[in-house]
């Protein structure tokens, strides 16, 4: 075999090493590739958001959401083959149709929307609860629409749950705002926040290893599939989370790995 051919075998997939430059070893690692472009653009977008007025940032976010909605509607009504990519190229809308919008949204919610006045704790609690309600409504819409379309097409669809669909943007934005409000109103001592803070500390490492943990748990039938699905899936998620946290904590004992997990 040619010495230049280095193969990686993971999850039953054989990779020729140059393909690793554009193809993740595991599908969930797409984020590690996408984040590179986002990080490269952050120095530029930072100057914009730090000097822009609130109205200008809202304009960017509304334009981003409208374009994402347009792309999604075209993809839903016409199909994936004509999902709006040509329109993006024609009108040069690239800055308004990618993940950079999440960076701007996070900045906007954290620095421009959070009310840190301790005298408004009651108001902040109301906003926090409304944010959580909108998040659950978004999740319900995704669940219901996915079920209906999947059933009508007799096959699973991810049309409503991809990261750049409008409902996912709204749901993720409101949940992020909910988490910010939870911190803002001094709930750091609650058991829920302690658990969340603990998991957040290892979140990147958990993200990187959880897919492999999931594969082996399912393959080894650690949890019996004979139990009801609505019990099996949450239980599976909890087991994967616990094992992933354990793996990441052990990896964290190796000092060089602390910089990447």
Q: pTM for this one?
A: 0.77
Cα(244)–Cα(212) distance, integer angstroms: 9
Which token pair is 6?
């280095």
pLDDT for residue 8: 43
Q: Which residue has the tokens 């990187």?
A: 208
Which of 50, 82, 113 is the C-terminal boundary of a domain? 113
Domain count, the chain: 3
Could you tell me if 19 and 99 lie in one domain?
yes
pLDDT for res 81 = 47
Residues 192 and 223 in one domain: yes
Q: How high is the pLDDT of residue 4?
A: 35
Residues 180 and 209 in one domain: no
Tell me: do 213 and 183 sit in the same domain.
Answer: no
In contact, 240 and 210? CB cutoff 8 Å? yes
Is the separation of the CB atoms in 251 and 261 below 8 Å? yes
Listed residues 170, 187, 204: the one ending a domain? 187
Q: Which residues of the chain have pLDDT under 50?
A: 1-13, 81-84
> Is residue 37 domain-shared with residue 103, that is, in the same domain?
yes
Give yes or no: residues 194 and 87 share one domain. no
> Could you tell me the residue range of the domain that residue 2 belongs to?
1-113
């Amino acid at each position: 075999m040619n010495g230049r051919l280095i193969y990686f075998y993971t999850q039953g997939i054989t990779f020729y090493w140059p393909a690793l430059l554009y193809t993740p070893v595991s599908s969930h690692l797409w984020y590690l590739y996408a984040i590179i472009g986002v990080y490269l653009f952050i120095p530029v977008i930072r100057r914009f958001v730090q000097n822009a007025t609130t109205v200008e940032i809202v304009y960017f976010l509304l334009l981003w959401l409208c374009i994402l909605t347009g792309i999604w509607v075209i993809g839903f009504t016409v199909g994936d083959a004509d999902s709006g990519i040509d329109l993006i190229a024609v009108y040069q809308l690239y800055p308004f149709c990618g993940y950079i919008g999440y960076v701007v949204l996070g900045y906007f919610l954290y620095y421009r929307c959070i009310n840190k006045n301790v005298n408004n704790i009651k108001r902040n609690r109301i906003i926090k609860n409304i944010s959580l309600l909108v998040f659950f409504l978004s999740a319900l819409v995704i669940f219901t629409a996915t079920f209906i379309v999947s059933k009508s097409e007799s096959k699973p669809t991810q049309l409503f749950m991809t990261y750049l669909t409008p409902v996912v943007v709204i749901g993720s934005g409101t949940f992020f705002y909910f988490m910010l409000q939870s911190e803002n109103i001094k709930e750091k001592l609650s058991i829920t926040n302690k658990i969340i803070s603990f998991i957040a500390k290892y979140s990147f490492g958990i993200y990187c290893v959880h897919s492999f943990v999931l594969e082996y748990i399912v393959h080894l039938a650690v949890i019996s599939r004979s139990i009801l699905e609505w019990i099996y899936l949450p239980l599976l998620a909890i087991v994967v989370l616990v094992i992933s946290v354990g793996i990441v904590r052990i990896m964290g004992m190796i000092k060089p790995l602390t910089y990447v997990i």
